[in-house]
Amino acid sequence: MDELSIYNQLKHLSIARIRQVFASWQSQNLPRHWLDGWLLAVLNQPSVFLITDSDYVPSDDEVMQLSGGIARMMTGEPLAYLTGMQGFWGREFMVNAHTLIPRADTEILIETVLDIVKQGSIDTSPRILDLGTGTGCIGITLALELASSSVVAVDYSPQALAVATDNARRLGADNCTLIHSDWYDKIDGEFDIIVSNPPYIAKDDAHMASLTHEPVTALVADQDGLADIITIAHGVHQHLKAGGLIVIEHGYDQGLAVREILSSVGLSNVRTLKDYGDNDRITLGFRPISD
């Protein structure tokens, strides 16, 4: 459907009626929460408004804005790119077409790092390196949750780095430094923790068909999606302290391959953890003290 067709179906309808139409449009590629979320964004109202004011009839201007956004979402453009915001770990991060949209499953990485620090396996005032930071959601979240930490977050994309810098400033992550770097190229010294959500999708992966609006350079890697993970792993001897932790997010079918990569560079206690959908999602390892 085009924007005009959508407009003609929604004009002069109450919120309750509009949401009935939404129910007939929703699909796997156009989830209901996108439709309701965009309606709330257009109306600039909290979610309770959909119930308390269900008889409200949006103005023509509101319906036009609503229709334009829905037409974009019907092409696969995610809601977050319309609103410019995405929630992660209880905070709102700015996003745009130069950044990946933070996913809930990435919060598994945050949980894991915080748990390991809490257990005392890592310095409670760690120096953390976030490689390929994108929106900054991982590095900034760790900086805010571990207030005594020092975080360095890097990205090769100047446009993504600008978004991360704005997020760090807006959220008050004063202990997070943003650096333009191709992985480790501009990085000096060693870190207690290295984290990364790098590109890990193979070029011919069928999932790319549903990710056409997100930056391909942040998604796709050579060597069946493993090239950047290999690069990150090979930097641990120069940049990860003895006893330090590395945690890498990867694809649901890459757990074994990533464990082999981390083990091949001499890391110990290598293991893979699952996400909320029970899929392999992150693999971690430690640099041995005696290394």
Give residue 84's pLDDT. 96
Out of 132-136, 177-181, 221-225, 228-232, least confident range: 221-225
Give residue 211's pLDDT. 62
The SS3 call for residue 244 is: strand
Give residue 124's pLDDT. 84
Is 46 exposed, middle or buried, given 0-12, 13-18 or 19+ CB atoms closer than 10 A? Answer: exposed
Out of 12-16, 119-123, 175-179, least confident range: 119-123
Mean pLDDT of 227-240: 96
**pLDDT tens-digit map of 197-210:** 998 886 666 655 56
pLDDT at 121 over 90: no
Give residue 156's pLDDT. 95
What ranges in the chain are assigned the alpha helix state H? 3-10, 15-25, 32-43, 49-52, 60-74, 79-83, 107-118, 137-145, 158-171, 222-225, 227-234, 236-239, 255-264
Measured CA to CA in angstroms, residue 57 lies from 54, 111, 291 at distances of 8, 43, 67
Residues 257 and 226: their CA atoms lie apart, in Å, by: 8
Q: Residue 28 — very low, low, confident or very high, per pLDDT cuts 50/70/90? A: confident
**pLDDT tens-digit map of 43-96:** 999 999 999 999 999 999 999 999 999 999 999 899 999 999 999 999 999 999
Unique residue bearing structure tokens 């996913």: 103
Q: Residue 100 — very low, low, confident or very high, per pLDDT cuts 50/70/90? A: very high
Mean pLDDT of 241-250: 97
Instruction: Could you list the residues known to form a binding site, using ranges.
Output: 132-136, 155, 183, 197-200
Give residue 199's pLDDT. 86
Is pTM beyond 0.75? Reply is yes
Among 69, 72, 11, CA closest to 37 = 69
Instruction: Could you list the residues known to form a binding site for S-adenosyl-L-methionine, using ranges.
Output: 132-136, 155, 183, 197
Instruction: Could you list the residues known to form a binding site for substrate, using ranges.
Output: 197-200
